[in-house]
Amino acid sequence: MQSQKKLINSVDCCVDEALCGLVRANGGLCLMKGHRVVLRSDLENLRGKVALLSGGGSGHEPAHGGYVGAGMLSAAVAGGVFASPPPASILAAILSLHNAGTSGVLLIVKNYTGDRLNFGLAAEQARNYGVAIDMVIVAEDCAFDRPSKAGRRGLCGTVFIHKLAGALAEEGCSLDQIVSKITEVLKGIGTLGVSLSPCSVPGCLPSFDLPPGDMELGLGIHGEPGIKRSKLASADEVMKTMIDHMTNPDSLSHLPLKSGDSVVVCVNNLGALSCLEMAVVTRAAVVCLENRGVVIARVMSGSFMTSLEMAGVSLTLMKASQETLRLFDAKTTASAWPNISSVCATGRRYMSDPPAVSTRPQDDKYSEGPLSPVMRKMLEKVCATLLEKQEELNSLDRAAGDGDCGNTHAQAARAIMEWLQDHVVPGCPGQLLTVLAGLMQEKMGGSSGALYSLFLTAAAGHVTEEQSNAASWARAMDAGTQAMRRYGGADPGDRTMLDALCPAVNELNKCATAPSAGHLAILQAAVQKATLGAEETRNLTAQAGRASYIAAERVTLPDPGAIAVAAILRAVLEVLEVEK
């Protein structure tokens, strides 16, 4: 077993450098020289108010330094990684707050022996300096059915206490009032953690061994193992297990929770879960609680009290009265406190309706027109051609891509044929192009589907039932080609379908000034130029698409996309020659 890689400069300096990084990134904070103490840089604004001091071992970032700010902590003192801070630093922080003219100092301490001893010793020393001081112990861990004499551990629920006590202090409440209110709130807070991996203190081996596929329930935040090990289950199952355990009335450390109760939910990343996993777990927590009839007043989800790089999550629930929510919603400048919505999560309409406009034009109803029969014949001819060329296009694509160009074009052809069986061809060419764009987008897939859909969508606005002459079709083709170039990033000469399409469009643009009798000849010339352009791609070096990643000397066959475009244009021409 090896120690985990850490992006630090040295084991000895990592805590001090982390604290320096925190204050250098936040103008509202400063560091006390000679101590690992983070202070508000505006201590003068604390005059006459109660100051709040918390802290503990490092490795739980953003706790506790990230919660220093107006409306939360006045200062935080840090120990080494997972080590309680020394009494001398705690006392230095207390005296700095006292000397700023505060009316008293409240210590908020997690229930670990080292923290209790060191903060307790500093509190006793501070009293000898005439400081009005008190201590609140946070012990909200729900893991143990029968807690030992050491009692329940202090976990992420501590962050809730920072917030509520900070709001009370900001409002000018006395030390006794704050202690009284916070002690009452603590009775309604519970936390439970689950881990998929251990963590490792810098320079050390992992804190415990957890086989792949296993998870640990009820672990602490210092890497100490939990109460139960089991196989990893789904997020929904894990969350149900956690909530069942937290609220089990047979446990002496359970959180009494019944239907109709209102709670604040904190889903806390223990260090290494991805944001995607955190969102999945948050949904699972919300759904599980609401299925029990619990009203979710607020939700916070993110990294609030971590355990280095542990892959795991803790769930904290706090029973919420209107007064609790008022304090919870109060403003704070603490950098790690999230921007939480003050809207009750339960009962909020969180799904919006889709747009009234159809996003699947292929499902809409259309009317036939004079152009419908010839456009149907064109489509049938194009589809037959693409199916016929499937293997040829695949073969060309295997030389420079993933070998599926024929398959994707055949997929598109089958989608069009299927649509033709059940639908009339609209008399408006623009409507037909919009339908085809929808089919390409949905059925063709890949970059080809997106490119054809772009082309057809951009072209659709230039041809209507009334405006459907050769010149308008040329404008439509030009608009579609420009859209492909704009969004696809390729140009003629880059060995793509544009090398067949652009020469054809340039020829078709002559329709704008040529007499109608010459339009078919222009189309014939355009198809010839497309065919020639496609053939000449064998001599080009790919600058876009998958072929651009292949060595040029290995790409000696024509580009399959360009060959497909030339074949489509030729199929259209053949139908028009017969119709003429």
Q: What is the pLDDT of residues 8-40, one digit of tens each?
A: 999 999 999 999 999 999 999 999 999 999 999
Q: From the CB of residue 171, how many other CB atoms can be counted at a distance below 10 Å? A: 13
Cα dihedral across residues 235, 240, 245, 246: positive or negative = positive
Pairwise CA distance, residues 497 & 563, whole Å: 7
- Give this prediction's pTM: 0.82
pLDDT given at position 568: 97
Helix (H, G, I), strand (E, B) or coil at 467: coil
CATH domain 13-329 topology: Rossmann fold (3.40.50)
Q: What residues does CATH 3.40.50.10440 cover in the chain? A: 13-329
pLDDT given at position 334: 98
Helix (H, G, I), strand (E, B) or coil at 143: coil
From the list 277, 332, 275, 280, the residue with the least C-alpha distance to 160 is 332
Query: What is the full per-residue pLDDT of the chain (580 aa) written as tens digits?
Result: 456 789 999 999 999 999 999 999 999 999 999 999 999 999 999 999 999 999 999 999 999 999 999 999 999 999 999 999 999 999 999 999 999 999 999 999 999 999 999 999 999 999 999 999 999 999 999 999 988 888 899 999 999 999 999 999 999 999 999 999 999 999 999 999 999 888 888 888 776 777 888 888 988 888 776 788 889 899 999 999 999 999 999 999 999 999 999 999 999 999 999 999 999 999 999 999 999 999 999 999 999 999 999 999 999 999 999 999 999 999 999 999 999 999 999 999 999 988 777 678 887 888 999 999 999 999 999 999 999 999 999 999 987 677 899 999 999 999 999 999 999 999 999 999 999 999 999 999 778 899 999 999 999 999 988 777 899 999 999 999 999 999 999 999 999 999 999 999 999 999 999 998 899 999 999 999 999 999 999 988 766 555 554 444 545 789 999 999 999 999 999 999 988 6
Say if CB 520 and CB 577 are below 8 A apart. yes
Phi and psi torsions of 122, nearest 5°: -65, -35
Pairwise CA distance, residues 499 & 404, whole Å: 20
pLDDT given at position 486: 96
Q: Is 59 annotated as belonging to a binding site?
A: yes
Q: Is 58 annotated as belonging to a binding site?
A: yes
Pairwise CA distance, residues 22 & 29, whole Å: 8
Q: What residues does CATH 1.25.40.340 cover in the chain? A: 371-579
What positions carry a catalytic annotation?
222
Cα dihedral across residues 151, 152, 153, 154: positive or negative = negative
CA angle 285, 287, 293 (to 5 degrees): 105
Say if CB 58 and CB 18 are below 8 A apart. yes
- H-helix or E-strand containing 19? helix 14-24
From the list 342, 358, 298, 18, the residue with the least C-alpha distance to 159 is 298
Q: Is 110 annotated as belonging to a binding site?
A: yes
pLDDT given at position 542: 62
pLDDT given at position 549: 43
From the list 430, 378, 399, the residue with the least C-alpha distance to 561 is 399
Q: Is 381 annotated as belonging to a binding site?
A: no
Longest dimension (CA), the chain: 108
pLDDT given at position 480: 97
Superfamily of domain 371-579: DhaL domain (1.25.40.340)
Residue 443's identity, in one-letter code, is K
DSSP code of residue 255: -
Task: Report H helices in 105-231.
Answer: 113-128, 157-170, 175-186
Helix (H, G, I), strand (E, B) or coil at 331: coil
DSSP code of residue 463: -
Pairwise CA distance, residues 55 & 78, whole Å: 6
pLDDT given at position 551: 45
Pairwise CA distance, residues 9 & 427, whole Å: 71
Half-sphere exposure of 373 (CA within 13 A, CB side): 2
Q: Is 240 annotated as belonging to a binding site?
A: no
